Amino acid sequence: MALDREETGERVLAIAEVLLNEGGMDNLKARTIAEQAGISVGSVYNLFSDLDGVHRAVNMRLLDRLGAAGAAAMADLSQRGITDVRQRLLALAGAYVRFVEAHPGSWPALLAFNRRRPTLTEPDAYEARLDQLFEIIAGVLAGGDFDLDDDTRRIAARTLWSSVHGIVTSGYAGRSVRRQADEIDRQIELLVAVFIRGLERGGTFAHAGTTAS
């Protein structure tokens, strides 16, 4: 075999992603990878420490792709001269929805994976890729005339992301397929509309602890 070491690593990752995408987390089996990649079981463990290591690597690629999709959507709008905040936020959310739909198995697997390990050694490279997304959203927010201080804008960006994420993920735990898409779209539109109107009214979002004990 005249395959570079790194090249077979990429091959394994591609195979692993297909397996995850088709059958979810418990479809990622060492023997299947080895068979489909034309190598032995042990070699998989030579290239990656664990099966978890393989999954982690696949997840990194997924996050990179998601970030690229978001950036591409923004670049597309910029090129078309569209600066409207509402349209930009809807485009970002739409990019996320399409991304999830394009990865029906591997994206849920990423989420399930993060849930399985109660935050061990992985957060560094992981959240770095997420921060990239938050900054895209924060940039869009900075384009509006909301006059938010940096800290509040940061929180708002993360809140928007978390909310869209929640809408999409709980949406796909639901009923049929067409009802899902429509429900998700409506929730996202309402969220974005309400968010913009709410931020426009200005005022302070002081972090005063007034939670009823």
Partner DNA sequence: ACCTGTTTTTGAACACTGTTCACGAAATCC
Partner DNA sequence: GGATTTCGTGAACAGTGTTCAAAAACAGGT
Contact set with its own copies (CB under 8 A): 24-26, 77, 82, 87, 90-91, 94, 104-105, 108-109, 111-112, 114-116, 118-119, 123, 127, 152, 155-156, 158-159, 161-167, 169-175, 183, 185-187, 189-191, 193-199, 201, 203, 205, 207, 209-212
Task: Provide the minimum distance between the beta carbon of 179 and DNA in the complex, in angstroms, as a whole number.
Answer: 30
Question: Quick one: what does residue 178 bind among its own copies, DNA, none, with the CB cut-off 5 to 8 Å set by partner type?
Answer: none
By the criterion CB under 7 A, which residues form the site for DNA?
A: 5, 8, 28-32, 39-43, 45-47, 50-52
CB of 129 to DNA, least distance (A): 24
Residue 60 touches which member of DNA, its own copies, none, C-beta under 5-8 Å by kind: none
DSSP letter for each residue of the chain:
----HHHHHHHHHHHHHHHHHHH-GGG--HHHHHHHHTS-HHHHHHHSS-HHHHHHHHHHHHHHHHHHHHHHHHHHHHHTT---HHHHHHHHHHHHHHHHHH-TTHHHHHHHHHHHS-S-S-HHHHHHHHHHHHHHHHHHHHHSS----HHHHHHHHHHHHHHHHHHHHHHTTSS-SHHHHHHHHHHHHHHHHHHHHHHHT------------
Least Å from the CB of residue 185 to its own copies: 7
